[in-house]
């Protein structure tokens, strides 16, 4: 009987334009908390106090303390086998495009390139007043940090509640979704829009949806294949199976 790892490998080998969508679950095995669920960030912290433009206007120091803590956590974390496998698949051109909702840099550090980062990047700061922007390597020493050009506060270049995503970045992501005949959806609850619609676009165009998650989500109901597993455990197995099938075809 064909198992789900083999089924996933076969779908991926049959597909011509595979994309991947990741969420915070892919970084969970690196020690970075997800958002929802009992241990999620939103069970301990209130998004309206920390992740909105109003929260920042009211208390920039508090917001920056929270983002500095998260920056430190991310900096100390290492990419796990799921990030590494995705990077390998991308570098082998098996995966054409990687779209993430994550603001961490673990995909980049695993070797992925040209990532479509829907919700921004925690290590990039931008001025709330002028065009100044900068990539940081460490959390800022002075909190809240100020713009070296105009003196206004700098903020993390991430999307907060109540803010729109960059139209250019959304467009890029949906163009990729339109082109795709398969999508790997990894570690996302799928409830945040517009990211949650990306797998649906692939499905509605006749593409295959392979979901990897430790629990069912809103995407599971229409996924062609649901692998109930930790991303860091199952992705390397799928990769090995792809290599094994490829080798067997070349002998
Ligand atoms: P969520 O916290 O909503 O969902 C994380 C998903 O990862 C859940 O479905 C978990 O079951 C799954 N998961 C946890 N550990 C896993 C593992 N080891 N392997 C595979 N799956 C695992 O996080 P996101 O879907 O990323 O937005 O949330 C989307 C957006 O909501 C975030 O980008 C953030 C948040 O508010 C902004 O900040 C704009």
Q: Following DSSP, what letter does each residue of 62-83 receive, concatenated?
A: HHHHHHHHHHHHHHH----HHH
CB-based burial of residue 76 (10 Å sphere; 0-12 exposed, 13-18 middle, 19+ buried)? exposed
Statement: residue 90 has pLDDT above 80 = yes
User: What does the pLDDT read at residue 45?
Assistant: 83
Ligand 1 atom closest to the Cα of residue 119 is 39
User: What does the pLDDT read at residue 46?
Assistant: 86
Statement: residue 161 has pLDDT above 90 = yes
CA of 188 to the centre of ligand 1 (A): 4
Catalytic residues, by residue number, are 119
49-74 confidence digits (pLDDT tens): 899 999 999 999 999 999 999 999 99
CA of 186 to the centre of ligand 1 (A): 9
In the structure, which protein residues have their CB atom closer than 6 angstroms to any atom of ligand 1?
23-25, 28-29, 34-36, 40, 51, 101, 119, 159, 187-189, 192, 212-215, 217, 230-231
Q: Pick the residue whose CA is nearest to atom 6 on ligand 1.
A: 188
Report strand pairing: 133-135 vs 120-127. antiparallel
Categorize the per-residue pLDDT at 245 as very low, low, confident or very high, splitting at 50, 70 and 90: very high
User: What does the pLDDT read at residue 2?
Assistant: 64
User: What does the pLDDT read at residue 41?
Assistant: 86
183-234 confidence digits (pLDDT tens): 999 999 999 999 999 999 999 999 999 999 999 999 999 999 999 999 999 9
137-157 confidence digits (pLDDT tens): 999 999 999 999 999 999 999
Question: Which H or E element spans position 228?
Answer: strand 225-228
CA of 189 to the centre of ligand 1 (A): 5
Residues 5-14, mean pLDDT to the nearest whole number: 97
Of 27, 85, 101, the residue with max ligand 1 atoms within 8 A of its CB, to mutate for a pocket test, comes to 101
Statement: residue 250 has pLDDT above 90 = no
Statement: residue 1 has pLDDT above 60 = no
């Amino acid at each position: 009987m064909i198992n789900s790892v083999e089924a996933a490998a076969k779908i991926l080998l049959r597909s011509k334009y595979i994309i991947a969508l990741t969420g915070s679950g892919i970084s969970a095995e690196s020690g970075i908390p997800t958002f929802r669920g009992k241990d999620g960030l939103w069970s301990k912290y209130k998004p309206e106090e920390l992740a909105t433009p109003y929260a920042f206007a009211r208390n920039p120091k508090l917001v920056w303390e929270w983002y500095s803590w998260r920056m430190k956590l991310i900096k100390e974390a290492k990419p796990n086998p799921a990030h590494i496998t995705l990077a390998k698949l991308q570098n082998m051109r098996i995966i054409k495009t990687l779209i993430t909702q994550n603001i961490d840099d673990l995909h980049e550090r695993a070797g992925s390139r040209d990532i479509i980062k829907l919700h921004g990047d925690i290590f990039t700061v931008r001025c709330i007043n002028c065009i100044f922007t900068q990539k940081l390597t460490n959390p800022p020493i002075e909190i809240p940090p100020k713009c070296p050009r105009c003196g206004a506060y700098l903020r993390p270049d991430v999307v907060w509640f109540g803010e729109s995503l960059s139209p250019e970045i959304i467009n890029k992501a949906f163009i990729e979704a339109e082109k795709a005949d398969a999508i790997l959806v990894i570690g996302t609850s799928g409830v945040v829009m517009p990211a949650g619609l990306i797998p649906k676009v692939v499905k509605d165009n006749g593409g295959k949806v392979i979901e990897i998650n430790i629990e069912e989500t809103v995407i599971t109901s229409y996924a062609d294949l649901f692998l109930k597993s930790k991303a860091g455990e199952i992705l390397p197995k799928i990769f090995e199976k792809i290599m094994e099938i490829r080798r067997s075809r070349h002998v």
